[in-house]
Amino acid sequence: MEKLLDRFLRYVSIDTQSNEESETQPSEDKELDLLRLLRDELKALGVEATLDEYGYVMASIPSNLPYKVPALGFIAHVDTAPDASGANVKPQIIPNYDGGEIALKGVPGLYLKPSEFPEMLHYKGQTLITTDGTTLLGADDKAGVAEIMDAVQYMMAHPKFKHGPLKIGFTPDEEIGRGVVKFDVAKFGADYAYTMDGGEVGELEFENFNAASAKIHIQGRNVHPGYAKGKMLNAILIGQELGAMLPVMARPEYTEGYEGFFHLISFKGTVEEADFAYIIRDHDRAKFEARKVMMQKVTDFINEKYGPGTATAVIKDQYYNMREQVEPHYHIIDKAVKAMEMAGVPAKIQPIRGGTDGANLSFKGLPCPNLFAGGLNFHGKMEFVPLESMEKASQVILNLVSLFAEA
């Protein structure tokens, strides 16, 4: 059987970065490179698997039990974040990590430091997989993909392992908020599911941010700077003025826990016109709605000050807090806690300061909490994952399968 590490390294070598500017699904054809591979690998293991026009891999393993139990699903996304390149990933393998700084050798002078990321010290003596500093790693969520495939490989190689009906799903475009927009829950056929898309070992999450995007366009007026007095409207500066009206302490770098935020994620523009992209997040639905109202109000103020049409805001909801959909089925949380205990992993139930495909799936009628995949520092060059955490995640999957197989 292929080792988990080798499988993970194969998957991260494939560039699957999604593109929020694209209108297609998948947003990039290159995501299909890994999706096709996964479909074919599942078939090679003896699993019935399909890949549809929207980039969804769905696979089914029939029950080998003489009695009926719920159909259980495991889901992970193949795309990596637009925040950093996912091309030509060159992982570094650090066996028996000694607790010191790790040189990211693709960028001279760049180090992954415990002084900046103290959680590294939790993994002394373990095998760490890091980037070389030139790209992200892709453990979000190729660690989850590899863990699911590792568990499937085990079950198919051990036919005496007892399990109910199992459903496997791999999705594109999660990182741009469109991962399961066209996902057919009825076709998937699971009663309950888990996304393997969390962070460090032990994380268990069934509540997440309510999320919206806000695209702000500023229409300025360019005039030769030598003759601009009383005439020029600098779109860049007006956009900065709009941003300055949002509360400083409601930025992600100043928030934690259940605190929401406004986050400026991109800017491009000139004096004539400029575009600012924000994301809006809050766990509390009422506070979330208030944040969207505030964004519209600062836009309206700009128009009152500089004239109608100076600023336009397009605010779109992306996903909602899954808690209200999952909590009525709390036994699936209890089973996840027990599955972690069986693997020697203390469960850490906490809110996601982000979102997963599971949020939208839960609102589609498939209760779907999120389990750890093991990685840390997602979306950037400081990303890393301990191999032992990935191995624990694969074991938790098998433990959950066994727990759901109980009569």
Active site residues: 79, 174
Residue 125 Cα distances to 95, 102, 199, 260, 275, angstroms: 8, 14, 19, 36, 47
List Cβ neighbours of 160 (8 Å cut-off, separation of 6 or more): none
How far is Cα 79 from Cα 334, in angstroms, rounded to an integer? Answer: 30
How far is Cα 378 from Cα 356, in angstroms, rounded to an integer? Answer: 13
How far is Cα 30 from Cα 17, in angstroms, rounded to an integer? Answer: 8
CB-based contact 212:321 (threshold 8 Å): no
The answer to whether the Cα torsion of 362, 183, 374, 70 is positive or negative is positive
Residues found in the chain? 407
How far is Cα 238 from Cα 219, in angstroms, rounded to an integer? Answer: 9
**DSSP structure string for 187-224:** HH--SEEEEEEE-STTEEE----EEEEEEEEEE-B---
